[in-house]
Amino acid sequence: MSAHFLEKGIDTSHTGILYVEDLSVNFDGFQAINKLSLTIDVGELRCVIGPNGAGKTTLMDVITGKTRSAIADIDGSVYLGSTIDLMTMNEPQIAQIGVGRKFQKPTVFEQHPVWENLELAMAGDKSWHHSLIAKVDIEGRQLMEAVLALTQLESEAYRQAGLLSHGQKQRLEIGMLLMQQPKLLLLDEPVAGMTDEETMRLAELLNSLRGQCSMMVVEHDMEFVAALAGPKGKVTVLAEGSVLAEGTLDEVKRDERVIESYLGR
């Protein structure tokens, strides 16, 4: 899978892939997000940490169009690249333009073999399927092979998805998102309920996507965060709906306010 399509058609020259500015979300008087600003670079893997209720999931809900003005007062800007205003779009449109979201519980087609799950996920993008119908067989197969390799599911390709382990299902679901060639992947607590070994495999998978796909990963498991951020990756700490700190994992771990509000002493 080549890197170029992951930002194709999106102007990211000034803003990175995701640009959030002064975002506020108020649920019936409760300020879940409070003037939050954040930028994610093209190809970056950004970890977002913070205490329960900090607004991490709400941030993803707004980016993906799940939370809109019908259920909350929303203010501020959310852009994909510098020109695509996500606040004017609904959930299917945002998915279609290349923002993939991984929920905590894997949602695979249990009765179908692994490869068919991937095929079905690809067909989900109708415009691509129809406009490139002649090329889909070759390109689609190449993409599927690349995704099977990335997710370390090659040996499971013909197995029924329902028979996979929890960790394998999680990787399959990420594979299904990759079949849609996302520009930005959002993952909310992807290792919850996984064994240590599965957790490290997922870290390996996400690390291998670095540079191909931009990612925002919310997680409480600090070993997993350390494996993703490495010594130089940027980590964002949210608290009470705002960015409390941003820096390398070492930097934010030393930050007094972060220790106070999240990590404890």
Total residues interacting with ligand ATP, rule: CB under 6 A: 12
The CB-of-237 to ligand ATP minimum distance in angstroms stands at: 11
Residues 6+ apart with CB under 8 A from 5: 181
The CB-of-60 to Mg ion minimum distance in angstroms stands at: 8
Is residue 64 at the binding interface for Mg ion, with CB under 5 A as the rule? no
Q: Which of 10, 23, 32, 99 binds ligand ATP (CB under 6 A)?
A: 32
Return the closest-CA partner of residue 116 out of 155, 167, 151, 158. Answer: 158
Q: Record the tokens describing residue 124, joined without a space.
A: 């989900």
Is residue 55 at the binding interface for ligand ATP, with CB under 6 A as the rule? yes
Specify the stretch interacting with ligand ATP by CB under 6 A; choose among 6-14, 27-35, 129-137, 154-162: 27-35
For residues 57 and 181, which CB has a smaller minimum distance to Mg ion in the complex?
57
Q: Which of 38, 54, 191, 229 binds ligand ATP (CB under 6 A)?
A: 54
For residues 121 and 245, which CB has a smaller minimum distance to ligand ATP in the complex?
245
For residues 132 and 192, which CB has a smaller minimum distance to ligand ATP in the complex?
192
The CB-of-56 to Mg ion minimum distance in angstroms stands at: 5
Is residue 67 at the binding interface for Mg ion, with CB under 5 A as the rule? no
Specify the stretch interacting with ligand ATP by CB under 6 A; choose among 50-58, 107-115, 144-152, 164-172: 50-58
For residues 78 and 164, which CB has a smaller minimum distance to ligand ATP in the complex?
78
Binding partner at 53 among ligand ATP, Mg ion, none, C-beta below 5 to 8 Å by kind: ligand ATP
Return the closest-CA partner of residue 150 out of 99, 209, 197. Answer: 209
Q: Which of 5, 35, 53, 193 binds ligand ATP (CB under 6 A)?
A: 53
Fill in the per-residue mask, 65 to 104: x = in contact with ligand ATP (CB under 6 A), - = not in contact.
Answer: ------x---------------------------------
Name the strands in the sheet holding 45-49, side by side, starting at the edge strand that comes first in the sequence.
Answer: 99-102, 184-188, 214-218, 45-49, 235-239, 242-247
For residues 164 and 235, which CB has a smaller minimum distance to Mg ion in the complex?
235
Phi and psi of 218, rounded to 5°?
-95, 130
Return the closest-CA partner of residue 46 out of 180, 176, 194, 230. Answer: 230
Return the closest-CA partner of residue 8 out of 183, 249, 163, 179. Answer: 183
Instruction: Name the site residues for ligand ATP (rule: CB under 6 A).
Output: 27, 30, 32, 50, 52-58, 71
